Structure 1
């Protein structure tokens, strides 16, 4: 039909809204507009997985007023936000409040991460390395007096990264692929790739002048080895 698009849009907008059945299980969560400064509330029919309404804010009073008009709601699926819990408790006392699956997994992962961080001192390997002689000291003093001796954790880590980068280069990988695999920036990969030996990377202020931490290094190493890694 020869009709303009504005006419079609006007006719579609004039149609009455479809009748949506009242939800029995409603999911509630917040959404952000303008990249965060303003928040609203979205209501979803969990059983049909269709949004049913939007509220202009995320206040408990607005959610409570919405629930007051729908006494048939039996379950409120929400996150841990206190305003949603308060609104449901005030205006929908007959509804059971549950946490949705995503927030359950999210809260579980956060709790597990905190637990591991609090107890990571107990996760150290307590058995000696069989490949390392028991009489070998923790640090082998470099006769050259280098501040990066063998056995120093920063020096050993740099040597290991240098060896890995050059092994991948020899295997035919590009520097960009190495950066993606080792989670390094292109500049870091270039530094390791251009260095012929790990010692070429041992430069900086530490070699030019002593550090204020030199006097405390034995104490810091002892505390680190004891499992105290919290600065």
Structure 2
């Protein structure tokens, strides 16, 4: 296979080495709140100030974060691999972009984007959002973080599923394997005969579904894997 088509899914584990906490980190931002309060439409309806403040804190943290060798390696793969490389991330930070990745599909939204709850217009989020900010398109005071909350449909699922159906290689990096629909991607890829590989510090919930596993830090496993794909 000269130029395999590659689909890559990244999760919180790849950004953890850059200082951005995961759901499970003790003492981090997530540990201070219930998911129901800060990551659901119902939580936003109940207490929009709490939700806006939470994402303002995450946005400030992400703005200071620096990509690691794992992010850099994936940017290199996108730049140098002659075949298709679709980079899908569950992360809402912009570390892939900071590392030089030209095309990143943020299936769960992005911290640096704002969304109008009325007309669905998107625009660059300020570092600090405020409750009741007006939409620049329709002027409704319904601005919210452009984040896919629990109970909402992830972005660009049709494009992702089509890429998985045409994939020769599927790699999951730093994902827990317990958040759907992303946790089901390995099954879709395996169904069409794609080679599947997981790179994780700890085995995911779906590790048994992967042909190959490369345990360890993303900053080490991902550059090694990319080098094997590029033949260098």
Which TM-score applies when normalising by structure 1? Answer: 0.21
Determine which structure has greater relative contact order: mean sequence separation of CA pairs < 8 Å that are 6+ residues apart, divided by chain length.
2
Which TM-score applies when normalising by structure 2? Answer: 0.21
Name the one with the larger strand percent. Answer: 2
Name the one with the larger helix percent. Answer: 1
